Structure 1
Amino acid sequence: MTSRFAHCGLLALATALVCQSAPAFAQDGGEAAEEIQSGSAGEVRETYAPEDFARFAPRNALDIIEQLPGFNVDRGGGGGGRGFGQASENLLINGERISSKSTSTSDQLARISVDQVVRIEIVDGATLDIPGLSGRVANIIVRQGGAAGQFRWRPEWNFGNAPAQWFEGEVSLTGQLGGVDYTIALENRDFARGRIGPSFITLADGTIDERLNTSTNLFNRPNLNAFLSFDVAPDVAVNLNLSGGIEIFDADEAEERVANTTLEPFLETFNTDSDEWYYELGGDITFPLFGGEMKLIALESFDYRDRTSSSLLDTAGLPLSGSQFVRVAEEGERIGRAEYSWSLLGADWQLSGEAAFNRLDQVGELFAFDPVSAEYVEVDFDGGVGGVREDRYEALLSIGFPITDNLTVQLIGGGEYSQLSQTGDNSRTRSFQRPKGSLALAWTPTDGLDLNLEIARRVGQLDFGDFLASVDLSEEQENAGNAELRPQQSWEIELEIAKNFGEWGSATLTLFDQEIEDLLIIVPVAGGGEARGNLESASRRGFRFVGTLQLAPIGLEGGQLDVDVQWEESELIDPVTNTARRFDRFRPFEMRVDFRHDIPGTDWAYGGSFEEVDPAPSFRVTQEILEFGPLRQAAIFVEYKDLFGMTANVRLADLLDNEDFLRRTVFDGPRNTAPILFTEERRRDLGQRITLTLTGSF
């Protein structure tokens, strides 16, 4: 890459800046801020007041968090795995995490009016009495006031072949009624994309088959969320989370041979139609017990999905042919968790226990198109019908204490036991016992410089769908089920160095290393075919730099530059070729630069962004695939902060000649020994996009 020297130079500059000494920039939240305590025992490193971000005209708490200098918002909820486990997000509200998996803390912050925000505390995770957190954590202190509403509408128009996106948005209401604090939100996530461009198939004999590929994707996920909080007695607090909704997804793809070719004309179409409905009911209660505090958490969730994928091939002179794969799946989860916290001998202790019961029931059926009846007729498909059950139990003990005034340690130790049962063609039951835990250190050698080190032993979770067979018709891929899967384990080390440069901004450099056992990857199976399986060992390491440079000191009042750079390298032994290579699809390099200028004395702001990525291939037994979106993207925006009381932001994205790209090599058997069957190269234009975002309060 031509920019590789620039990347290395940027890293060197970032490291030098982070290690410099400069006065810390922290704001006093004011006397009103002292009325509400943080709810945590963490050492506050920096404090910001809403007034510090007045130039951005924030509407809600999330608007403020997104402008914290040198801070990367973790938007992930708890839904990425089964069970709750310990805290993982780097956001808290009044010192507490949300007992929900479908709603993340950032989701909840978007529903809290900026008028309710008292202050924002930047805390070292290891100093908190919330085990599992490390690195910099933002604790948002809010007060409940009268009823306040938030709304956001985000339509999008595409210059390519995608339809307009009209229904992205959210409306929420927070307030207090009869001693109950409530937040109710109606949200829809809308996504529309279209692509068009040539596809070249090169056969083994050198014949080139030129085609035109067109695709559209439409996605809507409307859902209703409710969060209720109240006290049932002195020092006894209850939180309830309720959510539910539907998901509608439709994808259409057509590939047609161009007219100016000697090959017979044909048209192949693919369609995927997926409908889903889901709900989640959860809550927690906190109360004093034996000089400490007990927190009990419970959750019940269910998801039903009906997905049908169909293909149809129309070739001149031959009967119609095609396939159809239908998957109906029901997934459910029940969780019970207890956390008992107390203080003893100058340390914060917590004993936690969790039981999680998960289930998947799937009916997967494969059909072939019958040209006589013009219908899809079912064919044999081994391993597509069955179920998976997991009963998982976890127990952990944590202790956190200061070693010196500026050095704190947090120790966590314990383990988990899980029992996996599978029904269907490969029915069996297995159990696993795995130790887990971590050591976290938080050190502040001088004001404005924070170092956080974490060494952790982690246990991953299996995707239940990997136990059962599945088919991807568009990519001509079929996965066999694998009843022998084992959960991934890893040793992980992460060092975070955060530096506050006062009026100049802030920066955070994070270095990480992972040594992985039982990595999940596509492997060959006995008798031919492929499935998700385990590798004995693999490794991954890299860094992430997040920095904010305020431009006022160099004369551009209201100007700000944000930089986010990620680099990594990884290594595994390919199960087909027995040689070393990278992880599938893990990008070795990503960079994003954002510029924003809020013009002083006006309600106007403008700016832009630039992104660059290095793609990474993925591998199957008989295929090598390099697939990626635009390597470089640019966008510009204009924002007006008082359009009839609303904030209006117009963004023009994909300004460069953007394409999504596919290069696929298909072998006539395992790719280490078989000859190439054909190669496919596809380039599809995405088109520019205009996005209007209207946000406001009521």
Structure 2
Amino acid sequence: MLAPAAPAWAQDGEPLPDAPDATEVSPQDPQAAASAAAREIYTVADFERFAPRNALDLIDQIPGFDVDQGGGGGGGGGGRGFGQAQENLLINGERISSKSNSTADQLSRIPVDNVVRIEVVDGATLDIPGLSGRVANLIVRQGGASGQFRWRPEWNFGTAPAQWFEGEISLSGQLAGVDYTVALENRDFARGRQGPSILSDALGGVDERFNTASNLFNRPNINAFLAFEVAPQVAANLNLSGGIEIFDSEEREVRVAGNPLAPFDERFFTDSDEWFYEISGDVTFPLGGGELKLIALESYDHRDRTSNSLLDTAGLPTSGSQFIRVADEGERIGRGEYSWGLWGADWQLSAEAAFNRLDQVGRLFAFDPLANEYVEVDFDGGVGGVREDRYEALLSVGFPVTDTLSVQLTGGGEYSQLSQTGDNSRARSFQRPKGSLNVAWAPADGLDINLEVARRVGQLDFGDFLASVDLSEEQENAGNANLRPQQSWDITLEIAKNFGEWGSATLTLVDEEIEDLLVIVPTEGGGSARGNLESAQRRGLEFVGTLQLGPLGFTGAQLDVELELEESSLVDPVTGEERRFDRNRPFELGLDFRHDIPRTDLAWGFAFREEEPAPSFRVDEESIEFGPRTFGAVFVEHKDVLGATANVRIGNIFNGGETLRRTVFDGPRGSSPVLFTEERLRDRGQSITLTLTGNF
């Protein structure tokens, strides 16, 4: 019998029954085939002590499992196009056809009562190309109409205002044969920091200042998911989302009292407004001896961002700059996946066309003290557009070699056409092979080994083609029309071990050999821009584990551990010396302890984070910027406050601040003298966060 990676414990402290064996699933179950390949099966009862409200609450408590969002952005495609599956989450054996909403987002809106079970499987055993390692497949059914809510206000002890409007409300059910989920969500963010900033010049002069900064962010949006049967054996899904984003930031730096230099007052303001939408859907139907799935997506994003700076120094006229960037981005995708069984193997042929666009108007202004207004100045490369037409075709086959060994092979390539308009007009095309080998081996009960060898092709940030300015950092990037997409050979080895009642752990080793890595490079005339390096390497280790403390007599307690170690190497394009990737942290450690007190509705715990920051580099600057290196939080939770779960969390208990250290050179690093150094330390203060979650 396959048991969970670690037994759950009921509120009275006794272990719950083992999860059902995969082979015990009813043959009438539409997911029976997937269940037969499951290495671990969980039910809602296994997580009873946590009082879960939705499907994502269950995923968060799977021992030794860490959610992978697939490189960021929505549905796991990462970047432009859908590509192969990358998230390690599935719903009823399928990935969702949305990019603005991830599978994790969707799971947070599925009531826990609708979850039948969770299957943890080896990705290479599924007929979904691109998946490897441990994958959680949630089997859910649609129930009656039900709703969920989450409200997460936060109060700060520092200078940030209260954060009142973070939360979500969702409703799901079935109406006229259509399964629906509708959600209204707002992401609210407020931060305030203040502290000294000390500049030292090459002659030993010291300029002491005081810096204050604040950020306010709101992103209200609405999402709808509809699923229905068009005809027998023909299933369709529709995803709709849209909303606005409002971001405002202010920063001010003044010379402190007693500074012998002339009074100095510099201010920065940023105002960014955005609106966006996405429409996507898919339809699946039988065709020939297999199944065809057609996917389509249309998305659009409009952003209007204005940044201003003003500098007042005694005895000098007011000076400053303004940068306005108006950008329109759009994406249109069509994808087809035909799957069939042949010779005891699962086959899939996929083809995708993705059409992406960016139109930007970037304008630079200088403050005129006589006119008391900003006057436009020349700004080469700030206006233009980028278009990419990308086509991809892949053939994959997956088959069992033995009862414990499965292999999945994928091969194909992509063809893309890139064109740019504006000051640096140019058109180019690329043809790149891509593919992967995935091997899943289960040499013993409770031990899973997954190996992936992949040839990957990255995607370019269209914004790097056009010039931009960061006023607060006094940085300007020229556009580069000669950028090439990154390519890499990636080797990933994942070893997952089930320790029974003690818990579970997963160790992942990664090696990447990269071509055309994108970094800041020097340009003619002494400027800088994004450019490509011929080669670079990155190697890493990630350990994720859950230790159940019940066998030690600490019933209801567990400790989650996450450790990341990483090394990277590139040849610096300015100095010619070997160094790490920009901001590539070599060490991160996370500890999360939770104790659900038996026979009560109370839980408490703490979180601890420690990381080693890493520097970033520009042509004439080296800097290191990081938040608290050591972070801690404590929480207490009650699982039945008028039917809701209330969690109160105190964050940043060690009072860590934000640190910036930078050295600016009078020309290229390594061959130029130091112009000045800056060291800034800003306090953030503690925060109190209340999270209320419930159902209706």
Q: TM-score range by the shorter chain?
A: over 0.9
**Which residue does the alignment assign to 2:9?**
none
Q: 1:666, 1:676 within 8 Å by CA — same for their partners in 2?
A: yes
For residues 506-559 of structure 1, what are the alpha-carbon distances to aligned partners after superposition, in whole Å with 9 as ceiling and x for unaligned?
A: 000000000000000000012220000000000000100000011110001100
State yes or no: 1:55 paired with 2:49.
yes
Paired AA for residue 471 in structure 1: V
Rounded Cα–Cα distance in structure 2 between residues aligned with 1:39 and 1:107: 26
- Secondary structure of the residue aligned to 1:243 is strand
Q: How does 1:214-363 map to 2 (within 5 A)?
A: 214-363=212-361
State yes or no: 1:27 paired with 2:25.
no
Paired AA for residue 661 in structure 1: T
Q: 1:498, 1:509 within 8 Å by CA — same for their partners in 2?
A: yes
Q: 2:142, 2:179 within 8 Å by CA — same for their partners in 1?
A: yes
- Secondary structure of the residue aligned to 1:80 is coil
Paired AA for residue 165 in structure 2: F
Q: 2:541, 2:565 within 8 Å by CA — same for their partners in 1?
A: yes
**Which residue does the alignment assign to 1:20?**
none
Shift, 1:41, TM fit = 4.2
Shift, 1:80, TM fit = 3.1
State yes or no: 1:71 paired with 2:65.
yes
For residues 273-308 of structure 1, what are the alpha-carbon distances to aligned partners after superposition, in whole Å with 9 as ceiling and x for unaligned?
A: 100000000000000001100000000000000000
Rounded Cα–Cα distance in structure 1 between residues aligned with 2:659 and 2:382: 31
Paired AA for residue 42 in structure 2: Y
Rounded Cα–Cα distance in structure 2 between residues aligned with 1:37 and 1:292: 16
Rounded Cα–Cα distance in structure 2 between residues aligned with 1:451 and 1:421: 43
Give the unaligned 5+ runs of structure 1.
1-24
Paired AA for residue 652 in structure 2: D
Q: Give the stretch that moved more between structures: 27-36 or 124-133.
A: 27-36
Shift, 1:242, TM fit = 0.3
**Which residue does the alignment assign to 1:654?**
652
Q: 2:26, 2:32 within 8 Å by CA — same for their partners in 1?
A: no
Shift, 1:38, TM fit = 2.5
Q: How does 1:197-208 map to 2 (within 5 A)?
A: 197-208=195-206
Rounded Cα–Cα distance in structure 1 between residues aligned with 2:226 and 2:505: 36
Q: 1:180, 1:228 within 8 Å by CA — same for their partners in 2?
A: yes
Paired AA for residue 37 in structure 1: P
Paired AA for residue 659 in structure 1: G
Q: Give the stretch that moved more between structures: 375-384 or 66-75.
A: 66-75
Q: 1:396, 1:413 within 8 Å by CA — same for their partners in 2?
A: yes
Total equivalences in the alignment: 674
**Which residue does the alignment assign to 2:98?**
100
**Which residue does the alignment assign to 1:495?**
493
**Which residue does the alignment assign to 1:149?**
147
Shift, 1:321, TM fit = 0.2
Rounded Cα–Cα distance in structure 2 between residues aligned with 1:461 and 1:593: 34
- Secondary structure of the residue aligned to 2:184 is strand
For residues 445-481 of structure 1, what are the alpha-carbon distances to aligned partners after superposition, in whole Å with 9 as ceiling and x for unaligned?
A: 0011000000000000000000000000000100000
Rounded Cα–Cα distance in structure 2 between residues aligned with 1:139 and 1:466: 37
Which of these residues, 173, 176, 190, is aligned with residue 175 of structure 1?
173
Paired AA for residue 28 in structure 1: P
Shift, 1:56, TM fit = 0.1
**Which residue does the alignment assign to 1:16?**
none
Q: How does 1:539-550 map to 2 (within 5 A)?
A: 539-550=537-548
Paired AA for residue 73 in structure 1: V
Rounded Cα–Cα distance in structure 2 between residues aligned with 1:463 and 1:542: 25
Paired AA for residue 20 in structure 2: D
State yes or no: 1:445 paired with 2:437.
no
Rounded Cα–Cα distance in structure 1 between residues aligned with 2:648 and 2:140: 30
In the superposition, relative to structure 1, how do residues 291 and 352 fare at CA in structure 2: closer, same or farther (>3 Å)? same
**Which residue does the alignment assign to 1:663?**
661
Paired AA for residue 694 in structure 1: L
Rounded Cα–Cα distance in structure 1 between residues aligned with 2:398 and 2:454: 15
Rounded Cα–Cα distance in structure 1 between residues aligned with 2:274 and 2:319: 29
Give the unaligned 5+ runs of structure 2.
1-16
In the superposition, relative to structure 1, how do residues 35 and 217 fare at CA in structure 2: closer, same or farther (>3 Å)? farther
TM-score (norm 1): 0.95
Q: How does 1:628-643 map to 2 (within 5 A)?
A: 628-643=626-641
State yes or no: 1:37 paired with 2:35.
no
For residues 183-222 of structure 1, what are the alpha-carbon distances to aligned partners after superposition, in whole Å with 9 as ceiling and x for unaligned?
A: 0000000000110000001012111000000000110000
Rounded Cα–Cα distance in structure 1 between residues aligned with 2:282 and 2:326: 32
Shift, 1:32, TM fit = 8.8
**Which residue does the alignment assign to 1:7?**
none
In the superposition, relative to structure 1, how do residues 96 and 507 fare at CA in structure 2: closer, same or farther (>3 Å)? same
Shift, 1:35, TM fit = 6.0
**Which residue does the alignment assign to 2:7?**
none
CA RMSD, 1 decimal: 1.2
In the superposition, relative to structure 1, how do residues 36 and 696 fare at CA in structure 2: closer, same or farther (>3 Å)? farther
Identical residues among aligned pairs (%): 75
Rounded Cα–Cα distance in structure 2 between residues aligned with 1:333 and 1:465: 15
For residues 215-247 of structure 1, what are the alpha-carbon distances to aligned partners after superposition, in whole Å with 9 as ceiling and x for unaligned?
A: 001100000000000001111000000000000
**Which residue does the alignment assign to 1:674?**
672
Shift, 1:580, TM fit = 0.3
Shift, 1:34, TM fit = 7.1
Shift, 1:501, TM fit = 1.0
Q: 2:489, 2:513 within 8 Å by CA — same for their partners in 1?
A: yes
**Which residue does the alignment assign to 1:188?**
186
In the superposition, relative to structure 1, how do residues 212 and 142 fare at CA in structure 2: closer, same or farther (>3 Å)? same
State yes or no: 1:387 paired with 2:385.
yes
Q: 2:645, 2:692 within 8 Å by CA — same for their partners in 1?
A: yes
Rounded Cα–Cα distance in structure 2 between residues aligned with 1:550 and 1:672: 52
Shift, 1:40, TM fit = 6.1
For residues 287-345 of structure 1, what are the alpha-carbon distances to aligned partners after superposition, in whole Å with 9 as ceiling and x for unaligned?
A: 00011000000000000000001100011111100000000000000000000000000
In the superposition, relative to structure 1, how do residues 29 and 52 fare at CA in structure 2: closer, same or farther (>3 Å)? farther
Rounded Cα–Cα distance in structure 1 between residues aligned with 2:501 and 2:311: 63
Superposed structure 1 runs of 4+ greater than 3 Å apart: 29-37, 39-42
Paired AA for residue 399 in structure 2: F
Rounded Cα–Cα distance in structure 2 between residues aligned with 1:427 and 1:26: 64
- Secondary structure of the residue aligned to 2:551 is helix
In the superposition, relative to structure 1, how do residues 281 and 40 fare at CA in structure 2: closer, same or farther (>3 Å)? farther
Rounded Cα–Cα distance in structure 2 between residues aligned with 1:263 and 1:26: 73
In the superposition, relative to structure 1, how do residues 33 and 663 fare at CA in structure 2: closer, same or farther (>3 Å)? farther
Rounded Cα–Cα distance in structure 1 between residues aligned with 2:161 and 2:640: 29
**Which residue does the alignment assign to 1:11?**
none
Q: How does 1:298-697 map to 2 (within 5 A)?
A: 298-697=296-695
Q: 1:33, 1:119 within 8 Å by CA — same for their partners in 2?
A: no
Rounded Cα–Cα distance in structure 1 between residues aligned with 2:210 and 2:125: 58
Rounded Cα–Cα distance in structure 2 between residues aligned with 1:374 and 1:537: 50
Q: Give the stretch that moved more between structures: 36-45 or 228-237.
A: 36-45
- Secondary structure of the residue aligned to 2:401 is strand
Rounded Cα–Cα distance in structure 1 between residues aligned with 2:253 and 2:42: 54
**Which residue does the alignment assign to 2:14?**
none
Which of these residues, 124, 149, 168, is aligned with residue 126 of structure 1?
124
Rounded Cα–Cα distance in structure 1 between residues aligned with 2:218 and 2:207: 36
Q: 1:493, 1:512 within 8 Å by CA — same for their partners in 2?
A: yes
- Secondary structure of the residue aligned to 1:609 is strand
